[in-house]
Amino acid sequence: MKNSLLYFCLLFLISCGQTPQQPATEAISANATYYGEKITADSVIQIDELAQLMGDQTEIAIKLKGPVEKICQKKGCWMDLRKEDGSTMRVTFKDYGFFMPKDGAGKTAIVRGIAKIEETSVADLQEYARDAGKSEAEVNAITTPEKELVFEADGVILQ
């Protein structure tokens, strides 16, 4: 019995000395800036993995990381994240509660929010084209809505 008690105490002391494992966390640079809700960089998925993770779902809550291709030059009210194949995903900000700096293209963003497949109206597509500085002829050439993967972020880390 004495040996059992000694064995139990030894196991207890050894197990108490171990630290629990934490989920993997992205390294955040010292000059990172936070927008919207303060988010962390844990459990981040690369933007190119999103389509596979979504499967047949039309909406998913997720945290993504990707390079910023461009930002709305009117007031920073949307940004495009670039995928490896060169295509982009539009990111808007929940309730227009915050905006990105207009000079943020080329940086890396971590965004938390809802990815969803939705149909973007002709009016919205034309507005995005105007915001991106397209000519009036290019804007008027947009005549059909598009089904696309979009993202509504409630928090962003820009590095």
CA–CA dist 15, 21 (Å, integer): 13
Please, which pLDDT band fits residue 148 given cuts at 50, 70 and 90? confident
Please report, for the chain, the start and end positions of each structural domain, with discontinuous segments joined by +: 26-158
Query: Strand 59-71 relative to strand 45-46: parallel, antiparallel, unpaired?
Result: parallel
**26 falls in which pLDDT band (50, 70, 90)?**
low
Q: Quote the CATH superfamily of domain 26-158.
A: Nucleic acid-binding proteins (2.40.50.140)
Q: pTM for this one? A: 0.72
pLDDT digits (tens, 9 = 90+) for 56-82: 899 999 999 999 999 999 899 999 999
Q: Write phi, then psi, for 22 (nearest 5 degrees).
A: -100, 150
Q: Which of 20, 26, 19, 30 is nearest to 40 (CA)?
A: 26
